[in-house]
Amino acid sequence: MKLKDVEFAPLCVPLTRRLETLAAASWIYLVVFGPLTGWFTLLYIIINTQYWWLGLMYLIWIYIDRSVAWSHKIRFTIMRRLTWWTYFKNYFPVALVKTHDLPADKSYLFATYPHGVLCSGSFSNFATDAGEFSEIFPGLQSFLITLSFHFSMPFTRELCIGLGLRESSEKSLVNILDGKKGNVAVLMVGGVSEAFKSFPGPYHVVLKNRRGFVRVALKTGASLVPVFSFGETNVYGLGQAEPNSFWEKVLKLIKWKSGNRVPVGRGVFQYSFGIVPRRHPIVTVVGKPIDMPKIANPKEEDIAKYHKIFVEELTSLFEEHKTKYSKHPDEMELILE
């Protein structure tokens, strides 16, 4: 049903689909508003309740436990096995495809593209068991690399720890990979810069000047694996803030890096606008591992050599699978930046 250009969801929607939408909405709430909600809750406990001492103890614990951000050990593993993540996976839906066996007698650095607005495919496949990662790659344990500030956020940090998220730093990657058989660090190499380019159409990937991940792979001897998530940039549409409008001023205030272009999702009960991602299939293809020598202090020529090999392998992976998992002609182009 449409009302003034807003398309509402039908009333008679199966319960399963409602739960899938709720799972996607809950996830986006946790990502966007979870940290702020956690701080408000903790401050309220400290200032306005008789359990203020518990709040202070938890605040101290966050500081004492800060090393978990770069640890290779996982706590609260039940978080990864929650049925809720299956609803999240099925919402898009998200799929994981293996092209080569990855023996568990070594460690791997998954260099994943594209970043997307919020890494929906990588989160589902590598931070939860809903994507059946452990069945597809037996003996491997995945760690999804994210921004370090998540580990200082009350309450949501415990969820991040249980899901195997770790901070984006060389120390973290080395701790996960160096001498740790079966460990997989999953890194969105393009980072935030690429997130601002994650709109429907040609895939823009930030790679040409990103070489730190190659250096880490050489230092640890971890095999470098190209990974590509087809459909990741389609879960949000492309919107435009009108010139001189309130929203354009907001974008300038927060130093938005995409000009007037903004991602547009949907709402819980309507499809026209909102921050909830849209339903669109995401297929994450794990490519051929690139075996790396272990070099304690890799030279620039070593890094350049294996960076070139990675670019070739990622491009080959994209070209081989794009017609299988992309249905839009304008998605058949990979632009390296």
Q: Are 125 and 37 in contact (CB under 8 A)?
A: no
**Cα 7 off chain centre by:** 29
Write down the pLDDT at residue 331. Answer: 86
Nearest to 154 by CA among 56, 81, 53: 56
Residue ranges of domains in the chain, CATH in brackets: 2-336 (3.40.1130)
Percentage above 90 pLDDT, the chain: 71
Give 110's contacts (C-beta < 8 A, 6+ positions apart).
126, 142, 184, 185, 186, 187, 225, 227, 286
Q: What is the mean pLDDT of residues 306-335?
A: 93
Q: Are 114 and 233 in contact (CB under 8 A)?
A: yes
How far is Cα 130 from Cα 163, in angstroms, rounded to an integer? Answer: 12
- Pairwise pLDDT comparison (10 vs 169), residue with the higher score: 169
Q: Measured between alpha carbons, how far is 173 from 221 in angstroms, rounded to an integer?
A: 12
Percent of the chain residues topping a pLDDT of 70: 93
Tokens of 302: 């070593």
Helix axes 212-220, 300-325, angle to 10 degrees: 110
Burial class (CB in 10 A: 0-12, 13-18, 19+), 21: buried
C-alpha 276/C-alpha 237 separation (Å) is 11
Mean pLDDT of 40-51: 94
Q: Which two tokens stand for residue 203?
A: 């895939």
Mean pLDDT of the chain: 90
Lowest mean per-residue pLDDT among 108-117, 125-134, 140-149, 240-249:
240-249
In tens, the pLDDT along 180-219 reads 999 999 999 998 888 888 889 999 999 999 999 999 999 9
Mean pLDDT value of segment 251-258: 60
Q: In what order do the strands lie in the sheet with 108-113?
A: 94-98, 282-286, 223-230, 108-113, 183-188, 141-146, 165-167
Higher confidence at residue 257 or residue 178? 178
Q: Per DSSP, which regions of 106-171 are E strands? A: 108-113, 141-146, 165-167
**Confidence band for 132, pLDDT divided at 50, 70 and 90:** confident
pLDDT (average), residues 329-337:
89
**pLDDT for 58-87, tens place per residue?**
999 999 999 999 998 888 788 898 999 999
Q: Which of 34, 38, 12 is nearest to 25 (CA)?
A: 34
Token representation of residue 62: 């966050």
